[in-house]
Amino acid sequence: MLYHGNIDSKLPRVKTTIFTIMSALAKTHNAINLSQGFPDFPINKRLVEIVTKQMLAGKNQYAPMQGIIELREAIALKTEELYSAIYDPDTEITITAGATQAIYTAISTFIREDDEVIVIEPAYDCYVPAIELNGGVPKFVKLEDKTFQIKWDNIKKLITHNTRAIIINTPHNPTASILSAADMHQLEKLLKGRDIIVISDEVYEHIVFDGYEHQSVARYPELAARSIIVSSFGKTYHTTGWKVGYVLAPSNLMQEFRKVHQYNVFSVNTPIQYAYAEWLKQKDLYKELGAFYQGKRDYFQKLLVGSRFEIYPSLGSYFQILGYQKITDEHDVDYAKRMTTEYGVAPIPLSVFYNNTYDPQCLRFCFAKENDTLERAAEKLVKI
In terms of domains, do 274 and 308 share one? no
What's 184's domain CATH number? Answer: 3.40.640.10
pLDDT at 279 > cutoff 80: yes
pLDDT at 356: 87
> What does the mean pLDDT of the chain come to?
96
Q: Does any domain span residue 175?
A: yes
Tell me how far CA of residue 62 lies from CA of 67, 224, 273, in angstroms: 10, 30, 11
- Cis bond leading into 347, ω under 30°? no
Domain boundary residue, one of 256, 283, 310 = 283
- Predicted confidence (pLDDT) per residue in 280-323, tens digit: 988 777 889 999 999 999 999 999 999 999 999 999 999 999 99
- Looking at the structure, tell me whether residues 175 and 220 fall in a common domain: yes
pLDDT reported for residue 15: 79
E-strand ranges in 122-276 read 137-142, 163-169, 197-201, 227-232, 245-248
Full domain range(s) for residue 202: 62-283
Q: What is the mean pLDDT of residues 129-150?
A: 96
What local confidence, expressed as pLDDT, does residue 2 receive?
86
The last residue of one of the domains, among 283, 303, 319, is 283
CB of 301 within 8 A of CB of 198? Answer: no
3-state secondary structure of 122: coil
pLDDT score of 201: 98
pLDDT band at 64 (very low <50, low <70, confident <90, very high): very high
User: 78 near 218, Cβ under 8 Å?
Assistant: no
Q: Are residue 33 and residue 155 in the same domain, yes or no?
A: no
Same domain, 198 and 242: yes
pLDDT for res 277: 97
Please tell me whether residue 198 adopts helix, strand or coil conformation: strand
Q: Is residue 183 part of a domain?
A: yes
Task: Give me the pLDDT at residue 305, please.
Answer: 96
The domain boundary residue, chosen from 230, 249, 283: 283
Residues 158 and 31 in one domain: no
- Residues 363, 313 within the same domain: yes
Alpha-carbon 159 to chain mean position: 24
For the residues of 29-78, what is the DSSP string, one character each?
A: TT-EE-SSS--SSPPPHHHHHHHHHHHHTT--SPPPTT--HHHHHHHHHH
Q: CB under 8 Å to 333, separation ≥6 — which residues?
A: 18, 349, 351, 352
331 in the same domain as 219 = no
User: Given a cut of 90, is residue 357 above it in pLDDT?
Assistant: no
258 plus 177 within the same structural domain: yes
Kindly tell me if the per-residue pLDDT of 272 is higher than 90.
yes
For residues 228 and 162, membership in a common domain is answered with: yes
Amino acid identity at 168? I
pLDDT tier at 324, thresholds 50, 70, 90 = very high
> Is 5 within a domain?
no
As a whole number of angstroms, the distance between CA 250 and CA 248 comes to 7
The region, left, alpha or beta by phi > 0 then psi within -120 to 50, assigned to residue 61 is: beta
HSE-up of residue 262 (Cα within 13 Å, Cβ side): 9
Cα gap 242→337, rounded to integer Å: 29
Is residue 79 predicted with pLDDT exceeding 80? Answer: yes
Residue 177, domain member (yes or no):
yes
Distance CA 238, CA 93 (A): 22
Share of the chain above pLDDT 90, in %: 91
Q: How far apart are CA 211 and CA 245, in angstroms?
A: 26
Q: Concatenated DSSP letters for 80-118?
A: HHHHS----TTTSEEEESSHHHHHHHHHHHH--TT-EEE
Q: What is the pLDDT of residue 86?
A: 98
Which amino acid is located at 304 in the chain? L
CATH code of the domain covering residue 328 = 3.90.1150.10
Classify residue 147: in a domain, yes or no.
Answer: yes
CB 123 within 8 A of CB 116: no
pTM over 0.85? The answer is yes
Q: What is the mean pLDDT of residues 148-154?
A: 96
Give the pLDDT mean for 48-55.
97
Q: How confident is the model at residue 365 (pLDDT cuts 50, 70, 90)?
A: very high
**pLDDT tier, 146 (very low <50, low <70, confident <90, very high otherwise):** confident
Cis amide prior to 171 (ω within 30 degrees): yes
Torsion of CA 256, 261, 264, 268, to 10 degrees: -170
pLDDT at 106: 98
178-210 pLDDT tens trace = 999 999 999 999 999 999 999 999 999 999 999
Residue with more model confidence, 356 or 51: 51
Q: Which pLDDT score is estimated for 8? A: 86
For 220-230, what is the mean pLDDT? 98
